[in-house]
């Protein structure tokens, strides 16, 4: 995905349009992915795509830009855009139609791997996975997060990213009085806080809770195998 400032970019591509850089700001504001078609910069490409096509290409990555079919309304308009943009093509032509990473284009500056904000749905998936698998006391390690990545809990996130999100952001939501995870029981919330060292109890009680956790995990594992 190419992001640029409207009116301040020489970018042009026959298949890949640019989108207003404000899209990233709005993602952070609403903590979700707004409709990208509303941010399309029309003079950067004659191509135009549906919201689902764009998401399939750069978010879900099950299509490439070359797979998409433009929904441009008027072929004559497309021809005018192409003709008037010949110089821009020579300046901004890309050798590869497939942009797997999110990209930002501002004149000649391009930054790759722009981070997209976490949605609340992704955060819920992380918390539910930890609770379901009794991993409250394993969040500071590595193995659990690597398993979470293999299980595709957050399809397009690395285990490092999910761990950082949990211990540096979700942690504070769990610590707040009005946490964002109302599906958690008081006991589950307490266990998650203990695992993050937010809530303190004496060592004997904590060890006892860990033992119960391990027993429950072994029981769940035996049930799954049978």
* The two structure tokens encoding residue 177: 């009085």
Average pLDDT of every residue of the chain: 75
Q: What tens digit of pLDDT does each residue of 145-191 get?
A: 999 999 999 988 999 999 999 998 999 888 876 678 889 988 888 88
| Of 160 and 94, more confident | 160
Identify the pLDDT of residue 202.
61
| 22-43 tens-digit pLDDT | 988 888 888 788 898 899 898 8
For 45-65, how does the pLDDT look when each residue is reduced to its tens digit (9 = 90+)? Answer: 888 888 888 887 777 767 777
Confidence of residue 222 (pLDDT cuts 50, 70, 90): low
Tokens of 73: 């309304």
């Amino acid at each position: 995905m190419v992001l640029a400032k409207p009116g301040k970019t020489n970018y042009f591509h026959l298949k890949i349009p640019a989108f207003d850089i404000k899209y990233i700001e709005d993602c952070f504001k609403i903590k979700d992915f707004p409709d990208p078609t509303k941010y399309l910069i029309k003079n950067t490409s004659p191509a135009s795509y549906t919201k689902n096509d764009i998401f399939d290409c750069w978010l879900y990555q099950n299509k490439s830009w070359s797979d998409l079919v433009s929904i441009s309304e008027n072929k004559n308009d497309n021809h005018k855009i192409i003709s008037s943009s010949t110089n821009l093509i020579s300046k901004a032509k890309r050798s590869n139609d497939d942009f797997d990473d999110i990209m930002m284009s501002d004149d000649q500056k391009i930054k790759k791997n722009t981070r997209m904000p976490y949605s609340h749905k992704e955060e819920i998936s992380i918390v539910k996975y930890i609770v379901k698998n009794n991993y409250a006391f394993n969040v500071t390690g590595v193995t659990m997060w690597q398993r979470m990545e293999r299980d595709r809990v957050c399809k397009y996130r690395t285990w490092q990213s999910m761990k950082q999100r949990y211990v540096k952001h979700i942690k504070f939501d769990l610590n707040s009085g009005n946490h964002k995870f109302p599906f958690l029981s008081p006991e589950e919330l307490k266990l998650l806080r203990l695992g993050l060292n937010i809530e303190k109890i004496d060592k004997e009680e904590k060890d006892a809770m860990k033992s119960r956790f391990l027993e429950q995990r072994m029981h769940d594992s035996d049930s799954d195998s049978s």
